[in-house]
């Protein structure tokens, strides 16, 4: 089938098999390997991307369902050399070790912060309940989300 | 804030937070083919035949490999590792796993065939058309079932499904101690079977260069030498013709030490087909076919005198090996348990009897600690149970029996020498952190809210890995861009080697860490060293990095003397440079190390006069600590909340505090995963795996242990150049006993007898309901 979608700001047309998952389209056809696959059952969240501004697990979306949509992956989050505050906070707080879950964690966290700019612990837990990490123990991930929230609020109040 | 000027915490971070890391599945080569595995769906069966005809005709299929192809290529079985000695002095019975099953399958998930096609989907479609003609046999998926008289045997050579019975310690001395004991306590504890579950799935891509007869193997690994060695052993291809590449590895935890079937099969396929071949596992395959962890039963008997001095501990251990022998496996249920089987206590007599048992399950190998957290858990739980049964405060019982500081170096009853520690001081610090004195009031307050509150201790000690290689060597190569490349063999799977090792070399040279690049594989492949494992990478390869810096300065001094026209011994090394004056304010003639390196001419082959190696011999150390957990159970639902978690660790010298804290956090949560949720379950009748996905296997999630407070009571070791004791496995070793002792204390208050992990809400609720009913 034929598709047209905008990935990280670039609109492209492509062909794929009907059964192609969005994650496979991103990784194999577009070459954006920052989006990872960690399970077969939509539990791990490694493949989280933004589809029209909302976090989705791209292993659970058919490429066909994304036709006409705008997608942001981890590769499209930074503005040039300037990291997104969530990316920066994950590093600053040591919220990553092996880094495999990290792209999905960051994409889920940015969506969580869009919904809750000043999240409670409970809101962070709920927002990241669908993302697994085997290395960090999550303590520093929660700290990173909080730090990112305050960076983003500070930036927001400056621009306002 | 200008994020463009942000400096990442680790060298690794920038690429990993922007999606530019390169894990194995991210690699692709032109013209590559794709593989899919056919696995046994039976726990125990004879294989009468494999019909591949329909699959061969499936679109896009290029080849199908079965056991006949493996045999024709002269490949041997999966390596079994060093054997353990049995009680009668003979060697254990080893039963190696064939790369592909021949006439019999012994666990669900065992590899039977590999289909290679033009796309991964074509390979999968074809694999589903392969018909295996099975004749079912009765399976035994638990150690109890396997040891029952008359049980079906997996291997003709292993009578009663026993691979070995090993012993350690002095049986007679322990019997004598029990004969004069005033009090005894016995407790049976399972450390249940777990999935290792790194987030990156196993993957492999092999390229064969016929002109050089050389294989390039992209696959996640803990250390290239372990992976290359096992591939060489299976394939018969000498190690110098196998290049292993693992740029980023998405977690390992003991799992990625060597090759499994798939990597070897891809070597075979790439050579035969003349094209690169790639395979990426599914999570389902991870659960069924990759090595599992833990799977131990630990039965402890402790003897006390009238003053609560510990007289002896006797252990009976059973280790479930799964269906086949694999590397590391034999040591988990034997040496790794017995080496520290007295923990942090002065115990005059120790003995262990250990059975290694085959079952129709996935083979068991190393998982974070590989027996070390299990024995720490068992000792600390046995101590708590004894304290409860005999009416003494668990803190007091520990304090009375700690090895005192003036006893180091201390030789345990079974001959292990602990070099250093301050066990009482470490626990005392933890007691303050955890406000142990205020616990009774907190418990009473919780009770008024209808909650059961418990506090538990884990005063763990573990033996870090001595390493299989005789030494660790790292090599410096001065690059044309003015930086120093440092090569070693130990591979990171999240530990941050690029950051830590660069820091050690940079500190030794007095230059910026940005001037040093660590790489976990050396193209010349001549280095000796250990892979990551046994909590030893930092002090093993890290010590070598420290020696490397010293060697560089030794070579550079002579060159600097020539450049400055001064006597070598007259030069001072200050802030990254040689100078004739002694002070920063009055340096005299001076040349920076990196400036000097830039001026020195390269030889014709590109070698730099300062290129050199550093090496270190670093044996086992004894990281230890005291972790204190406080939990609250809602008896109405069985749901537990971890209210507080305090950890005081003696890890010796800490090099990178943020990374060390991260290791402790991660280890604590992996322990929490085992305590509160994780468990691999096979169906007793069919031998099928019931927990084959993250839907059925509860991984620890955000918030399971919401706050972890860390502190240290470092007693640097003299056993390596850094004074570091290692950290990788300590978190699990502390958290298993601390959390379970806290749960047990809370449940004991309602009369619940000791129960096994995992403490899921359903199991906790059921245990409480049984007492109430």
Residues in chain B within 8 Å Cβ distance of A93: 9
Nearest CA in chain A to B667: A137
Q: Kindly determine whether residue B251 and residue A41, on different chains, have CB atoms separated by under 8 Å.
A: no
Closest CA to B152 of B365, B362, B323: B323
pLDDT score recorded for residue B11: 92
Q: Kindly determine whether residue A135 and residue B494, on different chains, have CB atoms separated by under 8 Å.
A: yes
Alpha-carbon distance B619 to nearest alpha carbon in chain A (angstroms): 26
CA distance to B219, B240, B544, B612, B614, per residue, from B527 (Å): 19, 12, 12, 12, 11
Is the domain of A13 the same as that of A68?
yes
**Distance separating alpha carbons of residues B239 and B260, to the nearest angstrom:** 16
Residues in chain B within 8 Å Cβ distance of A87: 17-18
- Number of neighbours of residue B442 by Cβ within 10 angstroms: 16
Is the domain of A67 the same as that of A101?
no
Residues in chain A within 8 Å Cβ distance of B283: 38-41, 44
pLDDT tens digits for range B560-611:
999 999 999 999 999 999 999 888 888 899 999 999 999 998 777 888 999 9
pLDDT score recorded for residue B131: 97
Per DSSP, the three-state class of A120 is: coil
**Among candidates A46, A92, A142 on the partner chain, residue whose Cβ is nearest the Cβ of B199:** A46
8-state DSSP, B257: S
CA distance to B124, B126, B134, B142, per residue, from B101 (Å): 19, 19, 12, 22
Residues in chain B within 8 Å Cβ distance of A84: 3
Tokens 């002896």 locate to B312
Its domain, for residue A54, covers: 2-76
Q: To which H or E segment does residue B232 belong?
A: helix B224-235
For the domain that residue A41 is a member of, what is the CATH number?
3.10.20.30
- Between CA B21 and CA A60, with CA B200 as vertex, the angle to 5 degrees is 100
φ, ψ for residue B731, nearest 5 deg: -60, -45
φ, ψ for residue B518, nearest 5 deg: -90, 135
pLDDT score recorded for residue B1: 43
Average pLDDT value for residue range A56-83: 96
pLDDT score recorded for residue B492: 83
pTM (2 d.p.): 0.96
Q: Kindly determine whether residue A138 and residue B704, on different chains, have CB atoms separated by under 8 Å.
A: yes
Q: Kindly determine whether residue B17 and residue A106, on different chains, have CB atoms separated by under 8 Å.
A: yes
Q: Kindly determine whether residue B10 and residue A103, on different chains, have CB atoms separated by under 8 Å.
A: no
Listed range (A18-27, B351-360, B482-491) with the worst mean pLDDT: B482-491
What burial letters (b/e) apply to B187-205, b meaning 16+ CB within 10 Å?
A: bebbbbbbbbbbbbbbbbb
Q: Yes or no: say if B487 and B474 are a contact pair by the CB < 8 Å rule.
A: yes
Q: Kindly give the residue spans of alpha helices, DSSP state H, lying in B280-354.
A: 283-289, 329-332, 335-338
Q: Kindly determine whether residue B705 and residue A41, on different chains, have CB atoms separated by under 8 Å.
A: no
Alpha-carbon distance B168 to nearest alpha carbon in chain A (angstroms): 34
Mean pLDDT of chain B: 95
Helices (H) and strands (E) in chain B, counts: 21, 30
Is the pLDDT at B724 greater than 80, yes or no? yes
**Among candidates B17, B662, B703 on the partner chain, residue whose Cβ is nearest the Cβ of A136:** B662
Last residue of a domain, one of A44, A76, A108: A76
Evaluate whether residue A139 is within a structural domain.
Answer: yes
Band of residue B222 on the pLDDT scale cut at 50, 70, 90: confident
- Number of neighbours of residue B427 by Cβ within 10 angstroms: 23
pLDDT score recorded for residue B540: 87
What burial letters (b/e) apply to B550-582, b meaning 16+ CB within 10 Å?
A: ebbbebbeebbbebbebeeeebeeeeebbbbee
- Hey, where are the domains in chain B? 402-411+418-464+620-772, 472-616
Alpha-carbon dihedral B524, B528, B533, B539, rounded to 10 degrees:
-110
Please name the residues in contact with B607: beta carbons below 8 A apart, sequence gap of 6 or more.
Answer: none
pLDDT score recorded for residue A156: 84
φ, ψ for residue B113, nearest 5 deg: -155, 160
Residues in chain B within 8 Å Cβ distance of A102: 16-17
Please name the residues in contact with B249: beta carbons below 8 A apart, sequence gap of 6 or more.
Answer: A98, B23, B200, B220, B221, B222, B256, B491, B492, B493, B494
pLDDT tens digits for range B280-334:
999 999 999 999 999 999 999 999 999 999 999 999 999 999 999 998 999 999 9
For the domain that residue A107 is a member of, what is the CATH number?
1.10.150.120
| Residue among A78, A97, A144, A155 with most chain B CBs within 10 A, to mutate | A97
Q: Kindly determine whether residue B283 and residue A39, on different chains, have CB atoms separated by under 8 Å.
A: yes
Listed range (B50-54, B274-278, B495-499, B703-707) with the worst mean pLDDT: B495-499
Is the pLDDT at B3 greater than 70, yes or no? no
Nearest CA in chain A to B2: A82
Task: Decide whether B402-411+418-464+620-772 matches B472-616 in CATH topology.
Answer: yes
- Number of neighbours of residue B419 by Cβ within 10 angstroms: 18
Q: To which H or E segment does residue B357 belong?
A: strand B349-358
Alpha-carbon dihedral B208, B213, B219, B225, rounded to 10 degrees:
180
Is the pLDDT at B275 greater than 50, yes or no? yes
Is the pLDDT at A129 greater than 90, yes or no? yes
pLDDT tens digits for range A74-123:
999 999 889 999 999 999 999 999 999 999 999 999 999 999 999 999 99
Is the domain spanning B472-616 CATH 3.30.365.10? The answer is yes
Average pLDDT value for residue range B362-385: 97
Tokens 């538990």 locate to B456
Nearest CA in chain B to A95: B662
Q: What sign has the CA pseudo-torsion B154, B159, B164, B170? A: positive
Evaluate whether residue A146 is within a structural domain.
Answer: yes
Is the pLDDT at A143 greater than 60, yes or no? yes
As for the ipTM of the complex, it is 0.98
**Distance separating alpha carbons of residues A145 and A124, to the nearest angstrom:** 8
* Cα B16 from chain centroid (whole Å): 22
Per DSSP, the three-state class of B461 is: strand
pLDDT score recorded for residue A159: 61
CA distance to B32, B326, B370, per residue, from B366 (Å): 32, 10, 5
**Among candidates A33, A83, A102 on the partner chain, residue whose Cβ is nearest the Cβ of B6:** A83
Residues in chain A within 8 Å Cβ distance of B14: 91
Band of residue B2 on the pLDDT scale cut at 50, 70, 90: very low
Q: To which H or E segment does residue B37 belong?
A: strand B33-39
pLDDT score recorded for residue B619: 83
pLDDT score recorded for residue B521: 66
Q: Kindly determine whether residue B19 and residue A133, on different chains, have CB atoms separated by under 8 Å.
A: no
Evaluate whether residue A26 is within a structural domain.
Answer: yes
Closest CA to B537 of B599, B464, B442: B464
**Would an 8 Å CB–CB cutoff place A143 in contact with chain B?**
no
Q: Kindly determine whether residue A32 and residue B665, on different chains, have CB atoms separated by under 8 Å.
A: no
pLDDT score recorded for residue B4: 53
Q: Kindly determine whether residue A44 and residue B283, on different chains, have CB atoms separated by under 8 Å.
A: yes
pLDDT tens digits for range B677-692:
999 999 999 999 999 9
Band of residue B523 on the pLDDT scale cut at 50, 70, 90: low
Residues in chain B within 8 Å Cβ distance of A129: 701-702
| Residue among A58, A87, A135, A136 with most chain B CBs within 10 A, to mutate | A135
**Distance separating alpha carbons of residues B730 and B384, to the nearest angstrom:** 20
The tally of domains found in chain A comes to 2
pLDDT score recorded for residue B520: 79
pLDDT score recorded for residue B525: 57
Pair of tokens at residue B378: 């068992």
Is the domain of A67 the same as that of A122?
no
Strands B45-51 and B131-136, by their bridges, are antiparallel
Average pLDDT value for residue range B171-197: 98
- The CATH number assigned to the domain with range B402-411+418-464+620-772 reads 3.30.365.10
Closest CA to B245 of B221, B278, B229: B221
Residues in chain B within 8 Å Cβ distance of A33: 19, 22-23, 25-26
Is the pLDDT at B772 greater than 80, yes or no? no
Evaluate whether residue A160 is within a structural domain.
Answer: no
**Among candidates A91, A98, A121 on the partner chain, residue whose Cβ is nearest the Cβ of B9:** A91
Per DSSP, the three-state class of A72 is: strand
**Among candidates B197, B200, B665 on the partner chain, residue whose Cβ is nearest the Cβ of A137:** B665
* Burial of B511: CB neighbours in 10 Å, binned 0-12, 13-18, 19+: buried
Per DSSP, the three-state class of B149 is: coil
Q: Kindly determine whether residue B693 and residue A138, on different chains, have CB atoms separated by under 8 Å.
A: no
Counting one residue from A and one from B, how many pairs have CB atoms under 8 Å apart? Answer: 197
Nearest CA in chain B to A142: B702
């Amino acid at each position: 089938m034929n598709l047209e979608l905008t990935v990280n700001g670039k609109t492209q047309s492509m062909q794929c098999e009907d059964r192609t998952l969005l994650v496979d389209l991103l990784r194999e056809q577009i070459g954006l390997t920052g989006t990872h696959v960690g399970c077969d059952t939509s539990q791990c969240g490694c493949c989280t991307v933004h589809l029209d501004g909302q976090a989705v697990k791209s292993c659970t979306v058919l490429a066909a369902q994304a036709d006409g949509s705008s997608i942001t992956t981890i590769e499209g989050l930074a503005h040039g050399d300037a990291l997104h505050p969530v990316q920066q906070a994950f590093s600053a707080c040591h919220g990553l070790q092996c880094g495999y879950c990290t792209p999905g964690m960051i994409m889920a966290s940015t969506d969580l912060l869009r919904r809750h700019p000043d999240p409670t612990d409970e809101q962070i837990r709920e927002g990241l309940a669908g993302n697994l990490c085997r290395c960090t123990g999550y303590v520093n991930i929660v700290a990173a989300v909080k730090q990112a929230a305050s960076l983003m609020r500070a930036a927001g109040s400056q621009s306002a | 804030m200008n994020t463009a000027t942000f400096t990442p915490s680790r060298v690794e971070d920038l690429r990993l937070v922007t999606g530019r890391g390169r894990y194995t599945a991210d690699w692709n080569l032109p013209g590559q083919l794709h593989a899919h595995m056919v696995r046994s769906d039976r726990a125990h069966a004879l294989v009468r035949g494999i019909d591949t005809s329909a699959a061969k005709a499936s679109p896009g299929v290029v080849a199908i490999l079965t056991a006949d192809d493996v045999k024709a290529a002269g490949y041997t079985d999966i390596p079994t590792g060093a054997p353990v000695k049995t009680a009668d002095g003979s060697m254990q019975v080893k039963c190696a796993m064939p790369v592909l099953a021949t006439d019999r399958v012994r666990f669900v998930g065992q590899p039977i065939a590999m289909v290679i096609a033009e796309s991964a989907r074509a390979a999968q479609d074809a694999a589903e058309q392969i018909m295996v003609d099975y004749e079912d046999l009765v399976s035994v998926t638990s150690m109890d079932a396997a040891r029952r008289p008359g049980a079906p045997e997996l291997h003709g050579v292993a009578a009663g499904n026993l691979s070995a019975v090993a012993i350690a310690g002095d049986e007679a001395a322990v019997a004598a101690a029990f004969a004069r004991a005033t009090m005894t306590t016995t407790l049976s504890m399972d450390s249940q079977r777990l999935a290792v579950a790194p987030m990156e799935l196993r993957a492999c891509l092999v390229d064969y260069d016929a002109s050089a007869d050389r294989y390039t193997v992209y696959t996640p690994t803990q250390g290239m030498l372990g992976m290359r060695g096992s591939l060489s052993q299976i394939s018969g291809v000498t190690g110098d013709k196998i290049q292993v590449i693992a740029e980023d590895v998405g977690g390992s935890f003991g799992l990625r030490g060597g090759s499994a079937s798939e990597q070897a099969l891809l070597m075979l396929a790439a050579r035969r087909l003349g094209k690169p071949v790639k395979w990426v596992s599914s999570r389902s395959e991870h659960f069924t076919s990759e090595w599992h962890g833990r799977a131990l039963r630990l039965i402890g008997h402790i003897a006390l005198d009238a003053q609560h001095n510990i007289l002896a501990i006797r252990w009976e251990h059973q280790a479930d090996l799964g269906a086949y022998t694999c590397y590391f496996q034999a040591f988990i249920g034997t040496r790794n348990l017995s080496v520290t089987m007295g923990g942090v206590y002065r115990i005059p007599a120790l003995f262990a009897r250990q059975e290694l048992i085959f079952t129709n399950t996935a083979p068991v190998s190393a998982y974070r600690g590989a027996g070390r957290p299990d024995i720490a858990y068992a000792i600390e739980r046995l101590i708590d149970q004894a304290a409860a049964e005999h009416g003494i405060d668990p803190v007091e019982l520990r304090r009375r029996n700690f090895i005192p500081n003036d006893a180091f170096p201390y030789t345990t009853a079974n001959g292990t020498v602990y070099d250093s520690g301050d066990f009482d001081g470490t626990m005392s610090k933890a007691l303050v952190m955890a406000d142990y004195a205020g616990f009774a009031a907190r418990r009473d307050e919780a009770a008024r809210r209808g909650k059961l509150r418990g506090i538990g201790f884990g005063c763990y000690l573990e033996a870090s890995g001595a390493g299989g290689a005789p030494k660790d060597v790292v090599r410096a190569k001065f690059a044309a861009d003015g930086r120093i490349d440092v090569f070693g063999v130990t591979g990171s799977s999240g530990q941050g080697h690029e950051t830590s090792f660069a820091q050690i070399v940079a500190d030794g040279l007095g230059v910026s860490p940005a001037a040093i690049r660590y790489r976990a594989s050396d193209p010349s492949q001549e280095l000796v060293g250990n892979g990551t494992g046994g909590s030893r990478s930092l002090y093993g390869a890290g010590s070598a990095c420290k020696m490397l810096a010293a060697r560089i300065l030794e070579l550079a001094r002579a060159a600097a003397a020539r450049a400055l026209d001064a006597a070598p011994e007259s030069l001072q090394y200050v802030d990254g440079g040689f100078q004739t004056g002694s002070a920063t304010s009055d340096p005299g003639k001076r040349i920076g190390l990196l400036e000097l390196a830039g001026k020195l001419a390269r030889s014709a082959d590109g070698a730099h006069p300062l290129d050199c190696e550093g090496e270190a011999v670093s044996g086992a150390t004894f990281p230890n600590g005291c972790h204190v957990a406080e939990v609250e159970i809602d008896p109405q639902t069985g749901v537990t909340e971890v209210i507080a978690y305090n950890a005081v660790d003696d890890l010796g010298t800490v090099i990178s505090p943020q990374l060390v804290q991260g290791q402790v956090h991660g280890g604590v949560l992996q322990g929490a995963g085992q305590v509160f949720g994780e468990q691999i379950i096979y169906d007793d009748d069919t031998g099928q795996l019931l927990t084959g996905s993250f839907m059925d296997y509860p991984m620890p999630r955000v918030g399971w242990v919401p706050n972890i407070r860390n502190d240290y009571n470092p007693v640097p070791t003299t056993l390596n150049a850094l004074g570091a004791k290692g950290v990788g496995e300590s978190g699990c070793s502390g958290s298993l006993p601390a959390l379970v002792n806290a749960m047990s204390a809370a449940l004991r208050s309602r009369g619940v007898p000791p129960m096994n992990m995992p403490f899921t809400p359903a199991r906790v609720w059921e245990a409480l309901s049984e007492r109430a009913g």
